[in-house]
Amino acid sequence: MAKAKTWHSIPEYNAFRAMMQAGTTTAAAHRLGLSQSAVSRAVANLEARLGLSLFEREAGRLRPTQEAVRFNRRLDPLFLALDRLDGVGEPVQETLRLIAPPTFAHRFLISVMGSFLKANPHQQISFDVSTSDEVIRGIVEDRFDLGISGTEQSRAGVKLEPYRRSQAVAVMPRDHPLAGRPEISPKDLHEQDFITLTRRHARRRQMDLLLQEARSEPRVTVEVSTSFAAADLAREGLGIAVINPFPIYQYRSEELAFVPFKSPIRYQSYFVLSDSRPVPRIARAFMRHMRLNTPPDPFTERS
């Protein structure tokens, strides 16, 4: 018996990509100018044809599965080709001037840049790793086209476009006595070994206030300047750390326990752009690639 011919549906792929980027059927439908039922039907048809579950519902939002992330990467060359057919013609080589702090740079952005350049081999990236303050200055002074930052800093000439939103988590070795709890509060940290941020961080002041209000006095073992350092020290058994799980969860979830931290602490990650200059096409393409290729995790959602 002859094998059935493979067929493809661009409308289904468009609906899927819109869902990956928007996170809800309503937002995806708005992007495409379609009804919610049309988007839902297209994604359901695609799932049936592929034999894969592409989205899971969680807290009212649709979270992409790992299969969805992998399939989305395979679609990148197709949509690049479609962009060319829209009248762009031969690809124009551009260089993205990108800057980000270490927490985003050393693991997460390296992977994203790799997949972006494989899908866009005619493009180039000039990448700088620096502090969040320098990210802002670099955009204002037109030394960079795009910055990534985990801190909200208002300054003339800069606009912040929300990217990811996270809740605070406590990280510790998997065999720690508190690792099995569904949630950890500031009071639970009393007399526990504790890894904290240095005092120059606003999050340090926020944490100190929470501990003071709870009359909780942990034993500070180390002060660090990045969440990755805090997580790695927690892995070494030096104490509990309260951190932003994004993007650390992707690289430490098998080695550390991640437990929701009961507090008003929330984190927001941003794309940093100039407010006075047009955003280069390559920067928009990279932002879209990041949104579409960020793996899901249980503590983070799209903004």
Cis amide bond preceding 177, omega within 30: no
- pLDDT tens track for 215-239: 999 999 999 988 999 999 999 999 9
* DSSP-derived secondary structure letter, 186: G
Using pLDDT thresholds of 50, 70 and 90, give the confidence band for residue 1. Answer: very low
Where in the chain are the domains?
10-87, 92-163+268-302, 169-264
* Matching CATH number, 92-163+268-302, of 3.30.70.141, 3.40.190.10, 3.30.1490.20, 3.40.50.300: 3.40.190.10
Comparing CA positions, the residue from 172, 261, 244 lying closest to residue 210 is 261
- pLDDT tens track for 14-57: 888 888 877 788 888 887 888 899 989 999 999 888 888 888 87
Using pLDDT thresholds of 50, 70 and 90, give the confidence band for residue 7. Answer: low
- Euclidean distance between CA atoms 204 and 243, whole angstroms: 10
Is residue 64 exposed (0-12), middle (13-18) or buried (19+ Cβ within 10 Å)?
A: buried
Give the CATH superfamily of 169-264: Periplasmic binding protein-like II (3.40.190.10)
Do domains 10-87 and 169-264 share one topology? The answer is no
Comparing CA positions, the residue from 149, 114, 122, 145 lying closest to residue 135 is 149
* pLDDT score, position 5: 46
CATH tag, 10-87: 1.10.10.10
What angle do helix axes 281-293 and 10-22 make, rounded to 10 degrees? Answer: 80
Q: Give the range among 91-100, 169-178, 188-197 with minimum mean pLDDT.
A: 91-100
Residue type, 150: G
Residue labelled with tokens 């990041």: 290
